[in-house]
Amino acid sequence: MSMVKHKRGTSSTLDVQHEAELKALANKSDEDIDYSDIPPSSDEQWSNAERGKFYRPLKTQASVRIDADVMEWLKRPGKGYQTRLNAILREAMLRDQNKKIIQAATWRPSSKITSSTPQTLPESLPPATESR
């Protein structure tokens, strides 16, 4: 049996019959769909499900300059240094994004008051008064 291979981004055009079938399916309402051949599932079956388990982000090739000692450290455990580098960068990115979300949701006193820890916005604020 021979294997048919397709290059990414190229696809054969659909014939008229297949196009008509796809359009008919797209126009079908949810009530008209026959679910009788699908076995029921329980909450227990979904209890160990993981969202995004098979998610694979798009990769892009990049050329970067990295300090020699950092590269040596990345390669020291063996094969997979690029994967380790990507994991380290992803963790830093997520930490930075999380920090920005927290900063956006955190109230800070005016610049006249210096505080090392941000203050959270009180649940109820007193009425604003003008002071001149």
pTM: 0.43
* Buried/exposed 75-99: b ≥16 CB within 10 Å, e otherwise: eeeeeeeeebbeeeeeeeeeeeeee
Whether residue 26 lies inside any domain: the answer is no
| Domain total in the chain | 1
Domain that holds residue 83: 66-106
Whether residue 72 lies inside any domain: the answer is yes
Give pLDDT tens digits for 34-79.
888 999 899 999 999 998 888 888 999 999 999 999 999 999 999 9
